[in-house]
Structure 1
């Protein structure tokens, strides 16, 4: 519960900064238009939209602990609040890191992302790439991360380069270890394996 409160408080803090900034910029833009002495009576909606789109924080980063004590952090190139007044935050080029208590790590990079501050979840979209400290490299179209439990689930099928060969699966789920079991990686929904045996070292003559 403390981990969930930590994430939620950090994200709410972002919104407290971003939303007033967006309102101030829009108000300033309207004042500039009101003082315009030009003869045109048309309202430049495209310029207003462009100004609103620039309300963002560059290089945001926040982190916390999952229920299992793993360190989870998310960073991005930029973050923008929900323009409709919701609690979602859109992040560009997100990076998620999960450092488990057993020493294993998970690194994820993606093209787009969105953090739901009310549900304490993050969705990483575009082409998402996962790398684990145990030697697995995967690519998939999207991932859902629970920031409280540290569970990460792929939206659909993915290709996996494993230390022992090539894997294809309909879905993968990473779960934080319980009772000292360590992080678990579960492949489901049609798993295919192409095993590649390690090349034997040449014997000395």
Structure 2
């Protein structure tokens, strides 16, 4: 039997025996005390959420952006989006935040409860109570807004009311678009326009 004359050699010789034994003991412990695998019941999903995901197509937290033909930027974000049951080319969304950044540095921000994006016709229709705010000082409320995706135009065919830089305003309809002659952007109110001037 080999004799070791120095402490280092004795430690190495003992380690050659003890370390493999320790590794075998660790492996045996892992196999003996391993827990059973988790099942789907252990995950924190509500049964209603699982059934809803299986029943319908849905995307959470989507964002959409485009550049119109005149160079303005339109950005739309929603809480959820799903295809329309009657027409798969139309997407329906909920809790919508849309923003149109015009070339003159003005911005039109829109908040709505619902939106339907019609890709073939290149229009996004906001509904369910729409709040429109502009960086030029207008804050308006209406039931529905149609925003074109291919050029800068926002139109409300129904009644509009809110505040303007000069005071309170109401009208039967409203339209924001680019003037063909000057290239500037115009906010036009039509039908029974009423302005309560506040100097």
TM-based fold match above 0.5: yes
Bigger-Rg structure (1/2): 2
Residue of structure 1 aligned with 2:70, choices 68, 71, 74: 68
**Distance of aligned partners of 1:52 and 1:155 in 2 relative to their CA distance in 1, 3 Å threshold:** farther
Distance 1:186 1:57 in 2: 36
Residue of structure 1 aligned with 2:84, choices 74, 82, 85: 82
Distance 2:87 2:166 in 1: 48
**Distance of aligned partners of 1:109 and 1:179 in 2 relative to their CA distance in 1, 3 Å threshold:** same
Q: Which residue of 2 aligns with 1:55?
A: 57
Query: Which of the pair is proportionally richer in strand?
Result: 2
Distance 2:161 2:147 in 1: 19
- Deviation of the 1:86 alpha carbon: 2.3
- Deviation of the 1:71 alpha carbon: 0.7
**Distance of aligned partners of 1:159 and 1:54 in 2 relative to their CA distance in 1, 3 Å threshold:** same
Q: Which residue of 2 aligns with 1:100?
A: 102
Q: What is the aligned length?
A: 152
TM-align CA RMSD: 2.1
Q: Which residue of 1 aligns with 2:159?
A: 157
TM norm structure 1: 0.68
Q: Which residue of 2 aligns with 1:36?
A: none
The list of structure 1 runs, each at least 4 consecutive aligned residues, that deviate by more than 6 angstroms after superposition, is: none
1:181-192 equivalences in 2 (<5 Å): 181-192=183-194
Q: Which residue of 2 aligns with 1:23?
A: none
Distance 1:107 1:117 in 2: 21
Q: Which residue of 2 aligns with 1:168?
A: 170
- Deviation of the 1:190 alpha carbon: 1.1
* SS of match in other structure, 1:110: strand
Q: Which residue of 2 aligns with 1:137?
A: 139
Distance 2:50 2:106 in 1: 47
Unaligned runs of 5+ in 2: 1-48
Distance 1:99 1:131 in 2: 12
Residues 143, 154 of structure 1: 8 Å contact kept: yes
**Distance of aligned partners of 1:53 and 1:107 in 2 relative to their CA distance in 1, 3 Å threshold:** farther
